[in-house]
Structure 1
Amino acid sequence: MINVGILDERPIVRAGLELFLAEDRELAFAGHTGDAEDARRLVRDQGIDVLVCALQSSVDVIMATRAESPDLAVLVLSDGPAEELLLKAIRMGAKGHLQTNARRADFLDAIRTVAGGRTYLSASLAEELISGEPAAKAPHEALSEREFQVFMKMAQGKTAGDVSKELSLSIKTVATYRSRVMEKMQLTSNSDLTYYAMKNRLIE
């Protein structure tokens, strides 16, 4: 049995991943939290084998648990493409990376992989780590994590008001992010975003 914990500040993400785990008899859900310090206690008290950890907290958690839980496998979770913080987490000892919108089968496979002592990485991230140079990037990979969040929601047909509520941003801020996305990706409309996301298999 593999004991799995979850660290993410978003309750909806924690709940969704917990449901994924509940359907698999080989994985045991050991608890979740939105606080990095509480995650350290969770790892220590619950005998966690794999901690699925939001990118923003990953480096702090790895540093805090390295001495007392050297066998802990940290699987980093992020919404967007590879960025410097993710590369730093991997180099410090995180065992893998998965995007928040990954399929259930990929999520469970990633957990089993890192629990077995192996590394779970995308081909593009592996290339960056090996070469030390960024791999050739698709337009959406130039987006920041927040820009990528806005992009994905609008590509799924969400309005600016929807995005504002779901990401706790003002509509003006959402509009600013949308403009940046359009400029970086050289697109002109929300339908362009949807077409791009479908063509690149970011949504179905």
Structure 2
Amino acid sequence: MTAVRLLIADDHPIVVQGITRFAELEPTLEVIGAAASADALLALLETTTPDVISLDVQMPGMEGPRTVEAVAAAGAPVLLFTLHPIDLAIASLIHAGAAGYLPKSSSLERYVEAIHALHGGGRVLPPELEALLDAPAAKAPSELLTPREMQVFERLVMGETIKEAAFSLGLSVSTVYTYSDRIRTKLGVRTQPELVRYAASWDLDQR
């Protein structure tokens, strides 16, 4: 069996060293590089072609779904290997392109199994994570909103009032109120702060 080429993105040297040493004794796994930050990972992906990427979601430079989308765009499946518990934030990273999740409390044998599963085109999703994937807050707004609703959404999370958004978009105030209500319902949020937090999780508050 050809060894799976693994790229590790983790800012904890003990994790990188542990996996690397284990891989030296595991003929089906080859560590071809490591990065300690999101920026270093993206730079490394310009010159390396891993079969699978192991990603710690809490390392420096991580920007949630935006980073995962950029990493997944390299073409290799992404395994979220992290201490972060299963929650909506992890679900949003699966929607952004990650193919699996494994807690760092897992054994190295289970880690290798997960790497091979992803390399074979599978996914590694615990049942409790699968259950979260349909939650509105775990999905990108573009999956839930119409193009016009997205326009209103973006104006609101930029801090514009209903009246200001109506003026910016050339719509009536009552129409924007209607869109605002639809947006909150579809995204599962009730207040403006919740709307802003949702946007921040998808890095949409800076558009």
Same fold (TM over 0.5): yes
TM-score, with normalisation over the residues of structure 2? Answer: 0.58
Deviations 1:4-34 (A, max 9, x none): 0111111112112222322211211111111
Structure 2 regions of 5+ residues with no counterpart? 138-207
The 2-side partners of 1:133 and 1:41 are apart by 32
**Residue 59 in structure 1 maps to residue 65 in structure 2:** yes
The 1-side partners of 2:94 and 2:100 are apart by 7
Question: Quick check: 1:4–1:50 contact (8 Å CA) kept in 2?
Answer: yes
SS at match of 1:46: coil
**Residue 101 in structure 1 maps to residue 105 in structure 2:** yes
Question: Quick check: 1:42–1:48 contact (8 Å CA) kept in 2?
Answer: no
Question: Which letter does structure 2 place at the counterpart of 1:38?
Answer: A
The 1-side partners of 2:81 and 2:104 are apart by 6
Question: Which letter does structure 2 place at the counterpart of 1:12?
Answer: I
Q: Which residue of 2 aligns with 1:43?
A: 45
Matched residue pairs, number?
Answer: 131
The 2-side partners of 1:79 and 1:128 are apart by 18
Question: How far 1:104 sits from its partner (Å)?
Answer: 1.2
Question: Quick check: 1:3–1:50 contact (8 Å CA) kept in 2?
Answer: yes
Question: Which letter does structure 2 place at the counterpart of 1:107?
Answer: Y
Question: Quick check: 1:36–1:60 contact (8 Å CA) kept in 2?
Answer: no
2:29 to 3, 21, 27: 27
Q: Within 5 Å, which residues of 2 pair with 1:152-167?
A: none
TM-score, with normalisation over the residues of structure 1? Answer: 0.58
Question: Quick check: 2:72–2:98 contact (8 Å CA) kept in 1?
Answer: no
The 1-side partners of 2:114 and 2:65 are apart by 19
The 2-side partners of 1:122 and 1:65 are apart by 22
Deviations 1:146-192 (A, max 9, x none): xxxxxxxxxxxxxxxxxxxxxxxxxxxxxxxxxxxxxxxxxxxxxxx
The 2-side partners of 1:7 and 1:59 are apart by 16
The 1-side partners of 2:124 and 2:22 are apart by 18
Structure 1 pair 133/122, CA: closer, same or farther in 2 (3 Å)? farther
Query: Is the helix fraction higher in 1 or 2?
Result: 1
* Percent identical: 24
The 2-side partners of 1:37 and 1:72 are apart by 17
